[in-house]
Structure 1
Amino acid sequence: MNQQTFSSLKIPSKHRYCHGGILRRSSKGRGARPLSHKDPIHLLFKVNKIAVKGGLRSLRSFSLMNRVLKRYSAKFYVKVEQFSVQMDHVHMLVRGSRRSNLQSFMRVLAGQFAQTLTDTHSLKHEGPKVWKYRPFSRVIKGFRPYQTVRNYIQLNELEALGRPYSKTRLRGLSQEQLVELWE
């Protein structure tokens, strides 16, 4: 049996290394999830606001996300380089040793967080779904995109802590502003 290559898929180059999230609604995000054990991966989990009262930054949800993240990143040998928990979504920059470990990490992290949050370990959850979309993932190719994603996640974390939001957040930041971002 031949192994399927990503280059054989008819995916526009803009979305070649992306999968999930709102892309699932179109044919662009319905192929195999591109994952890499060499390159970092930007993950985004978007929560349904109705299902999570108080948002993900509430004390219970925030500590729960941290515990689940630490536990399963160690179990599946996934290095979480950076993460930011917002009110309705979570950004992560991760690296994994194997594709199967990354797949299991994403599946178990989402499932365990949702089950623990809704206290439905043995019963079926009757309320609204916890996750709004499937996790969005993007393989980061190259150093400049890697730096951009790191700065973006850092900026999101600072905005969650009270920094004012701006539409032109990462466009045109000077070197001094980038240094200030990481202080």
Structure 2
Amino acid sequence: MRKINIGGKYRTLLKQKLHNSGRERVGRCALFYKQLPPHALEAAFRAKLEHTLSDKAYNFIKHVLDMPDAVAREPLNGTLISIRQVKLLASPDSEPDLVKGMYLIAPVSSSDGPFILWTLYAQDFTFKEYTNEASFLIDLRSRETLQQRVLKRLDPPNRKKYDNGGFNEPHIIYIGLDF
């Protein structure tokens, strides 16, 4: 043997194994879905140990991950907890803009917290705790790093509404026919 094309053969093998169709893909997705809750819980526990997440916030996260079905989810110490995708609303009559991979875990019927922002596959944090909804909104409107993270996760056509100060006053075009 004089030449071995390991790189080329490995790329071919990866293409075969990671193809987007077939039974193998279904199996890979099932394995991914199985590992997501324990991975998220480990990140939450690490944040709790680092004192960036309170015991109450950790318990909210654990409760939602243990009972992902919102209909079947029982209250935790008398509090119903929801998980919902972060959505931005540019105007009262517009469709919400979904922020991919960002979720809020919070009490259903109260503006009191904790409110936990869960950001999938973020580099600097996975979970960020806020005392209430208002503190989350203040952070979203004032902290540029959070705004940039949200902008990257919006669909490209929606980014221009919120970029350059659009979290405080969305950039929407209004054409009135009231003349």
Larger radius of gyration: 2
TM-score by length of 1: 0.28
> Larger RCO: Structure 1 or Structure 2 (Cα < 8 Å, ≥ 6 residues apart)?
1
